Chains A and B, each alone.
Chain A
Amino acid sequence: MSHLSQRPDVAEVGKAIPHESAALHVTGHALYTDDLVFRTKDVLHAWPVQASHPRARITGLDIEPAYAVAGVVRVLTAADVPGTNDAGVKHDEPLFPDEVRFFGHAVCWVLGETLEAARLGAAAVKVDYEPLPSLISVKEAIAAHAFQGAQPTVERGDVTTAIDQSAHVFSGEFEFSGQEHFYLETHCALAHVDEGGQVFVQSSTQHPSETQEIVAHVLGLHSHEVTVQCLRMGGGFGGKEMQPHGFAAIAALGSVLTGRPVRLRLNRTQDLTMTGKRHGFHSQWRVGFDDDGMIQALEATLTADGGWSLDLSEPVLARALCHIDNAYWIPNIRVTGRIAKTNKTSQTAFRGFGGPQGMIVIEDILGRCAPQLGLEPAALRRRNFYRSVDGQDQTTPYGQPVRHPERISAVWDEVHESGEVARRREEIERFNAEHPDTKRGLSVTPVKFGISFNLTAFNQAGALVHVYKDGSVLINHGGTEMGQGLHTKMLQVAATTLGVPLAKVRLAPTRTDKVPNTSATAASSGADLNGGAVKNACEQIRGRLEQVAASGLGVAAADIRFVDGEAQALGRSAPGLSWGEVVRTAYFQRVQLSAAGYYRTEGLHWDSSVMHGSPFKYFAYGAAATEVEVDGFTGAYTTRRVDIVHDVGDSLSPLIDIGQIEGGFVQGAGWLTLEDLRWDESDGPMRGRLSTQAASTYKLPSLSEMPLDFRVTLLERAHEEGAVYGSKAVGEPPLMLAFSVREALREAAAAFGPAGTSVDLASPATPEAVWWALSEARSSHDKGHLAEGKPGARPDQPDPDAPVRVPESEAAQVVVPQLLTEA
């Protein structure tokens, strides 16, 4: 057992405790960024001037009429930017554009004494546009060869030969939609200027350090002149990883120019029309199976709909390519990715970060091909799982050994057993035979998800822990709280490491002046990384206090244990010293009672230029069995029962982890079945407009979509050597358990047709989509794109002239000596 993963006998980690802010949440006392406005004097409010063209040159901008509106204080334009007019890290996102690149693009911003004044001022601004040709759908972009960024390929073996030698070859296409984050709290920033021109920005951001960097470069300041704080977020889901920066910069710029605090809070329509979403993808593929249904080869091209700028599209695409295998061994594979450049919002991180978009392709392939191969979909899936062969773990297409492959079949078999899948399948068969107009389907799908940022450099974190003279403990770390329970886990980690009761520890809001150069709270890695850093800081302090206690108790420091607020000497029954006494003594002995902690994930390597390496510390596994019932008249459905077995290692906080699994699952089900982003793709005057730009038109799961019977189990005996206290990351992987809903809908739709019907199902599988699918099954003529025969349709090949991606972080990689000596 590694030092990092080893858990003391008495530990706060592992206890099922409520969210640390639960009592504040339920009473309305928890503060979010916009709640601070009331407490801030003389705040100005910001409102954008949004373009109503998908693409246009700005030929004139007359801001004077805005100043005629009572209460308008300032209009912010490109001319006001003292630093760089850019809101992104790729330098392709001008904060104030001279060319409109998507419908709703903010051209400039108006500051008013009231929100109403700012709104009316924005309406008064006159903008002249020269409309330019636009690309809205990903298919339009493919046809126009409009791509951005690198076009990487993950490759292993010889696809061409393997396809040629396969007994069964299928090829097809599949396009699926993106997803709006719909965090309940929209983007918000509140900025003011502090002493000496320092700028303080409170921002709803998952990445305070990057928000700080962007604010600094827009203002032409150094990072040490800008502080960003995030109290908490009302949901993030990836949507506040890179998107908050520009809004924070606008607020900061306004504050610098006016000398007054500036609040920028998007309303829901602004948030929906201006900020990025999960990438929808287009995919083309051909696949070869042998007579037993073993996958022999897969060739695919994934085209991500990137929107108007790169944002995080390249790493999202990389993760998609690294997850098309999901839990399946694919000996010969060639998967290419590219990013369409369309006139839409710049698509961005969203829980799963490309992983779901890679995995949906293989799950769709297996769901469609199983009937053609004469196999039960579950049987086809299980036989293709990664395994150990002769003691060697099989490797992913990008060369990483799949450690603990036995856990895939473990979660799979356990969910079959606990979910009584075999018995229920028989029941469903009987039910379906008796009900011509209602059909049920039950499907099981696996998840294997790589944990760590693909980009090695991001896998580091810092923490700052203070012990005060009265024995109370205050921790800071670089991670942000968006509801995922990171702070709860960090409190548990600190209490466990210090050996004090949880109540002794408090956590202060995330600020860039406490812990610098942090990574985004993303990639599910928040607890792994920050937990490592908090643990490290606490160990430094504990080590010093062990010395103090040892001299007090007259034993060796190595024999001191801090347990539940008391320093005890090993093997002695005599009372030890209380935590408070030890701390007080340490102070008088001039022993440092604070520490900065640091953690970096060891053993990772990745080369983006060839898409090869071992980018992940470990894989998280899970399996879900979902039963649905579909109404043959309308395509409407209910989720009758869901069973999940998921691997979170040794859970740090079971109530939190189960919440992440359930919430992730339902959010994934929303993406796959309900949430329907529609852009106007017509040539009419509203071309490029997001048609579903409100809660009334973009529907996320409500109580009515909750599974009627929802049973989640954590995999037991799941200790993870490589992570803090033996735990595993949990934020993203469960989202992909929702493929079981989509596949169950496919099976239920197929049950309306003759046995062995292969069903094409659109994504999202709305009631309408399900109805069309079951209607096809009923009429049993396959209008889908699944074609059988060699050599199959070869997917589009990458552009040889596309740039090769060599991130700065990798170019800078050198072998660093082990700076961090673990205690």
Chain B
Amino acid sequence: MSTTGVSVNGKKAALGAIPPHTTALDWLRDLGMTGAKEGCAEGECGACAIMVARPATTGDPSTEWVAVNACLIPAAGLDGQEVLTAEGLGTPTALHPVQHEMAVRGGSQCGYCTPGFICSMAAEYYRAGRCQPQSSAPRPSGPEHNGHDPNQPGAEADAEHGPNGFDLHAMSGNLCRCTGYRPIKDAAFALGEPSADDAFAARRHQPPPAPVPTRLSFGSAEFIRPADLPSALQLLAERPDAVLVAGSTDWGVEVNIRGSRASLVVAIDRLPELRELSAGADEIRLGAALTLTEIERRLDGEVSLLAEMFPQFASRLIRNGATLGGNLGTGSPIGDAPPALLALEAQLVLASVDGERVVPLEDYFTGYRQSVRAANELIKEVRIPRPLAGLTAFHKIAKRRFDDISSVAVAFALDVSGGVVRRACIGLGGVAATPIRARRAEAALVGEPWSRETARAAADVMAAEGTPLDDHRASADYRAAMLGQAVLKLFAENPLTPSRNGVPA
């Protein structure tokens, strides 16, 4: 066994003899910490939120305080890292500014969700560049926003962004059952800048803790964080039973809700080879282990379809851990990234000890949670070819706007020039056993004038795509109707050739 230990609120704590499936939440609570709490054990409520010191999303060697769900990540994954909880931020007699605003404004009633809110809020409080409203904070999509114009002038203080730059999406993964959220929002929007002597703010200017190779075993179960990609691939080749985790946002649910216990968990979230991002002339390469938050901030709106999708993808707490590799690796038909990546005609780089191969995403899924990925392969990278389509939109149908699972997801990537649809790629989620392309609807659009009649005709075709089912999220009839409506809505919101974001018309 080789572990380093974890810094918790500035004090070093040994991981101890724990089973590898032990969550960070249970581990912290077994240390006697009471701030992080279990509300749902599946990353939906945020009562367990903590902060971890992570590499800055700006790409420079500084540190960011990143809020994550402690219920989902394995404690062993924190080895060598720094954790900050509500207890570490302040004390009842010396409240942190975030704690003070929440306390005096009635931001807590029963108080059970509160430490989690505090962590999400503090992470946003410390977000570099928060107070400059024209930062990379994604703009919301909605009737007033077409999604492909993420930095509209004058949009800095809208319903979801405070005058202090605070992005309400920072708390999209925190549920409160008591307050109705108004005082929490007021507290968030009242925050100023960290003071000059704020130690947590100062910590940002130092490098983040480096990932440390970890090997933890308990009985016959093991957790391994390999030092580099070759050793990860070697491990994968030798151990077909290995479960790969990055953000563990899916595996954590398996552990907590379904009682899954793996004989070997391999953490790949900090492998440098999986964390590269480049935007070249021919394609954009996204490392499979970059978190969605990192991609969102580093792309800064460059891929408009993704910029519109990210804020609708789960919650900030999840996006701070979740990766494209994970979302594609689990192969869920209702993940939100696959429809968008299908519409972008993305390709995957699969790596194994035998080398690498490139697979079009469209050929990747083979059935319900099945793919062409072999047991010894991992997803290394996602490639998005250029040129990017000029007219894009991501329509998510769900009961709740923040942090819900799509009943239907539709991603459009169209090129319209001279009033005619030249190219149409449409990715669909939630209407078949896998994410699919809407091939017939695409055919009904390509070569046709971009008109109401075309949209209507394509909508009828689109409504027959896939094989939607009835479940607790939506009826099959509604799902089918929403496919057609998506085309009509796309046209209604973009009746003319889009040109204002500079894409050639």
Q: A-side interface residues toward B, CB under 8 Å?
A: 18-19, 21-32, 34-35, 38-39, 116, 119, 123, 181-186, 232-237, 267-269, 437-438, 482-485, 629, 631, 633-634, 636, 638, 655-656, 658-659, 662-667, 674, 676, 678, 691-692, 694-697, 699-708, 710, 766-768, 771-772
Stretch of B131-139, B414-422, B486-494 contacting A (4+ beta carbons < 8 Å): B486-494
| Complex contact B106–A655 (CB within 8 A) | yes
| Complex contact B179–A28 (CB within 8 A) | no
Q: Which of A185, A658, A701 contacts B110 (CB 8 A)?
A: A185
A117 to chain B, nearest CB (A): 11
| Complex contact B95–A26 (CB within 8 A) | yes
A667 vs B110: C-alpha distance in the bound complex, in angstroms? 14
A612 vs B36: C-alpha distance in the bound complex, in angstroms? 49
| Complex contact A27–B492 (CB within 8 A) | no
| Complex contact A483–B110 (CB within 8 A) | yes
| Complex contact B474–A19 (CB within 8 A) | no
Q: Which of B32, B37, B90, B183 contacts A234 (CB 8 A)?
A: B37
Closest to A656 in B: B106
Closest to B478 in A: A768
Closest to B26 in A: A115
A183 vs B177: C-alpha distance in the bound complex, in angstroms? 6
A570 vs B175: C-alpha distance in the bound complex, in angstroms? 52
Stretch of B75-83, B222-230, B235-243, B399-407 contacting A (4+ beta carbons < 8 Å): B399-407
A18 vs B104: C-alpha distance in the bound complex, in angstroms? 6
| Complex contact A695–B178 (CB within 8 A) | no
Q: Which of B32, B38, B108, B485 contacts A25 (CB 8 A)?
A: B108
* Residue B333 at the chain A interface, CB threshold 8 Å: no
1/0 contact string of B82-113 vs chain A (CB within 8 Å): 00011101111101001110111111111111
| Complex contact B95–A28 (CB within 8 A) | no
* A30 partner residues in chain B, CB cutoff 8 A: 34, 111
User: Among residues 173 to 207 in chain B, which have CB atoms less than 8 Å away from a CB atom of chain A?
Assistant: 174-185
1/0 contact string of B282-312 vs chain A (CB within 8 Å): 0000000000000000000000000000000
A100 vs B324: C-alpha distance in the bound complex, in angstroms? 44
A234 vs B114: C-alpha distance in the bound complex, in angstroms? 10
A767 vs B114: C-alpha distance in the bound complex, in angstroms? 29
Binding site of A, secondary structure by majority: helix, strand, loop or mixed?
Answer: loop
Q: Which of B41, B115, B181 contacts A706 (CB 8 A)?
A: B181
Closest to B100 in A: A26
Closest to A481 in B: B110
1/0 contact string of B234-278 vs chain A (CB within 8 Å): 000000000000000000010011010000000000000000000
Q: A26-B118, A28-B33 are in contact. Are A692 and B472 (CB under 8 A)?
A: yes
Q: What is the number of residues of chain B that contact chain A, defined by CB distance less than 8 Å?
A: 90
Closest to B47 in A: A184
* B253 partner residues in chain A, CB cutoff 8 A: 696
| Complex contact B40–A694 (CB within 8 A) | yes
Q: A484-B109, A771-B478 are in contact. Are A27 and B91 (CB under 8 A)?
A: yes
* B103 partner residues in chain A, CB cutoff 8 A: 18-19, 22-23, 25-26
| Complex contact B181–A119 (CB within 8 A) | no
| Complex contact A659–B183 (CB within 8 A) | yes
* A19 partner residues in chain B, CB cutoff 8 A: 103, 106, 108-109, 111
| Complex contact B175–A184 (CB within 8 A) | yes
Binding site of B, secondary structure by majority: helix, strand, loop or mixed?
Answer: loop
1/0 contact string of B16-47 vs chain A (CB within 8 Å): 00010000000001101111111111101101
The listed residue with most B CB atoms (<10 A of its CB), out of A23, A267, A707, is A23
| Complex contact A23–B95 (CB within 8 A) | yes
| Complex contact B38–A28 (CB within 8 A) | no
A303 vs B168: C-alpha distance in the bound complex, in angstroms? 42
A251 to chain B, nearest CB (A): 18
* Residue B354 at the chain A interface, CB threshold 8 Å: no
Q: A483-B109, A694-B42, A703-B171 are in contact. Are A26 and B30 (CB under 8 A)?
A: no
* B488 partner residues in chain A, CB cutoff 8 A: 633
The listed residue with most B CB atoms (<10 A of its CB), out of A186, A236, A482, A695, is A695
* B86 partner residues in chain A, CB cutoff 8 A: 26-28
* A29 partner residues in chain B, CB cutoff 8 A: 34-35, 87, 91-92
A687 to chain B, nearest CB (A): 14
Q: A233-B110, A703-B172 are in contact. Are A667 and B400 (CB under 8 A)?
A: no
| Complex contact B106–A659 (CB within 8 A) | yes
If A35-B34, A697-B472, A705-B400 are given as contacts, then 7 extra A-B residue pairs at C-beta distance below 8 Å, sorted by A number, are A184-B113, A184-B177, A633-B492, A634-B482, A662-B182, A702-B172, A766-B399
| Complex contact A700–B177 (CB within 8 A) | yes
| Complex contact B40–A268 (CB within 8 A) | yes
* A437 partner residues in chain B, CB cutoff 8 A: 489, 492
Closest to B492 in A: A437
| Complex contact A665–B110 (CB within 8 A) | no
Q: Which 10 A-B pairs have the closest CB atoms?
A: A28-B35, A483-B110, A234-B112, A25-B111, A666-B180, A695-B44, A483-B109, A695-B40, A704-B401, A704-B402
A34 vs B114: C-alpha distance in the bound complex, in angstroms? 16
Q: Which of B105, B172, B259 contacts A704 (CB 8 A)?
A: B172
Q: A695-B45, A700-B177 are in contact. Are A663 and B399 (CB under 8 A)?
A: no
User: Among residues 100 to 157 in chain B, which have CB atoms less than 8 Å away from a CB atom of chain A?
Assistant: 100, 102-115, 118, 142-143
| Complex contact B400–A234 (CB within 8 A) | no
* A119 partner residues in chain B, CB cutoff 8 A: 259
B212 to chain A, nearest CB (A): 27
A23 vs B404: C-alpha distance in the bound complex, in angstroms? 31
* A636 partner residues in chain B, CB cutoff 8 A: 397, 401
* Residue B475 at the chain A interface, CB threshold 8 Å: yes
* B281 partner residues in chain A, CB cutoff 8 A: none
A678 vs B470: C-alpha distance in the bound complex, in angstroms? 12
* B177 partner residues in chain A, CB cutoff 8 A: 181-184, 235, 237, 663, 667, 700
| Complex contact A772–B45 (CB within 8 A) | no
* Residue B215 at the chain A interface, CB threshold 8 Å: no
A234 vs B256: C-alpha distance in the bound complex, in angstroms? 21
* Residue B432 at the chain A interface, CB threshold 8 Å: no
Q: A634-B482, A702-B172 are in contact. Are A234 and B110 (CB under 8 A)?
A: yes
* B185 partner residues in chain A, CB cutoff 8 A: 703, 706
Closest to A655 in B: B106
A482 vs B110: C-alpha distance in the bound complex, in angstroms? 5
Q: Which of A21, A186, A482, A633 contacts B486 (CB 8 A)?
A: A633
Closest to B487 in A: A633
A795 vs B399: C-alpha distance in the bound complex, in angstroms? 33
Closest to B29 in A: A38
A696 vs B256: C-alpha distance in the bound complex, in angstroms? 13
Q: Which of A23, A667, A772 contacts B180 (CB 8 A)?
A: A667
* Residue B60 at the chain A interface, CB threshold 8 Å: no
Q: A27-B87, A483-B109, A695-B45 are in contact. Are A268 and B39 (CB under 8 A)?
A: yes
A183 vs B397: C-alpha distance in the bound complex, in angstroms? 27
A654 vs B27: C-alpha distance in the bound complex, in angstroms? 40
